[in-house]
Amino acid sequence: MELSRKERLKSILLWGLLGLSLLLNVAALLLLNGIRQRAIETLESAKATIQGMQERPIRTVVGVNEVIPIQEVIPFNHSFPVSLDTTYPLSTVVQTSVQIPLLGRQEIVVPVEADIPIQMDLEVPVQTDIPVSFTYQLQTTIPVEVSIPPETLAPIDKLLEETLDRLR
């Protein structure tokens, strides 16, 4: 039985659509496989980076620019040795009374002139509170080195490994 021209055309068209569908499916599979391969490479790179972070500390420099107010009371308690070696001139008049028999009580004026030598070592104690109040402008850079502990990165590493197993 021979097919009519219309039926042959329909058959060819149907076979052509089937072939096109097959080609599109193969192209889609190849594209998805390429995406899967790139995902695996990216995840393996991420895993290597995570493992590298466990081995090498992160180093950076932190800039500090802060105003620090300082208010404090400093107790001061100290004794200072002081040596004295001097002469004190004394010049005065002393009025006193003296009881003299037969004359009774007599007022007398006695002039006193003397040089008194003073030689001594003294300890002079000083006790006070010294208030201190100022503002300090701290501008510096501080190198910082941080090691990430393995227990912090372990869950991420495990998640990456599980994802890689599913993609393979």
Give pLDDT tens digits for 2-15: 778 888 888 899 99
**Residue 52: enclosing H or E segment and its boundaries?**
helix 5-55
Q: How many Å apart are CA 124 and CA 131, to the nearest integer?
A: 22
Q: How many Å apart are CA 146 and CA 3, to the nearest integer?
A: 80
Query: pTM (2 decimals)?
Result: 0.41
Give pLDDT tens digits for 85-131: 999 999 999 998 888 888 888 888 999 999 999 999 999 999 999 99
Phi and psi (nearest 5°) for 137? Answer: -95, 110
**Under a CB-based contact definition with an 8 Å cutoff, are residues 110 and 96 in contact?**
yes
Q: Which two tokens stand for residue 138?
A: 């701290």
Return the residue matching tokens 């007398």: 108
Q: How many Å apart are CA 107 and CA 163, to the nearest integer?
A: 121
Average pLDDT value for residue range 54-82: 90
Say how many residues make up the chain: 168
**Under a CB-based contact definition with an 8 Å cutoff, are residues 88 and 114 in contact?**
no
Return the residue matching tokens 């042959």: 8
